[in-house]
Structure 1
Amino acid sequence: MTPTTTDTPDCTKAAALLHAVADPARLAVIRRLADSPACVCDLQEQVPIALNLLSYHLKILRAADLVTCSRRGRWIDYALASDALERLHATLPAPPTRHPGRPSASAGDVATAQQYTAACSPQCADQIQ
Structure 2
Amino acid sequence: MPTLPGKNRAKTAELCHALADETRLDILDQLKEGERCVCELTDALQTGQSRLSFHLKVLKDAGLILDRPEGRWIYYAINSEAVEELEELVGSLKATRKTVRPSSRC
TM-score (structure 1 length as normaliser)? 0.66
| Number of residue pairs aligned between Structure 1 and Structure 2 | 102
Q: Whose Rg is larger?
A: 1
Tell me the equivalent position of 2:43. 45
**SS of equivalent to 2:32:** helix
From 25, 29, 38, the equivalent of 2:27 is 29
- Amino acid in the other structure paired with 1:95: K
Unaligned runs of 5+ in 2: none
Counterpart residue number, 1:68: 66
Task: Confirm or deny that 1:13 pairs with 2:26.
Answer: no
Alpha-carbon shift at residue 51 of structure 1 (Å): 0.6
Aligned equivalent of 1:106: none
1:47 counterpart letter in structure 2: L
Structure 1: tracts of 5 or more residues without a match: 103-115
After TM superposition, the runs of 4+ consecutive aligned structure 1 residues lying more than 6 A away are none
Please give the TM-score of this superposition, normalised by the length of structure 2.
Answer: 0.78
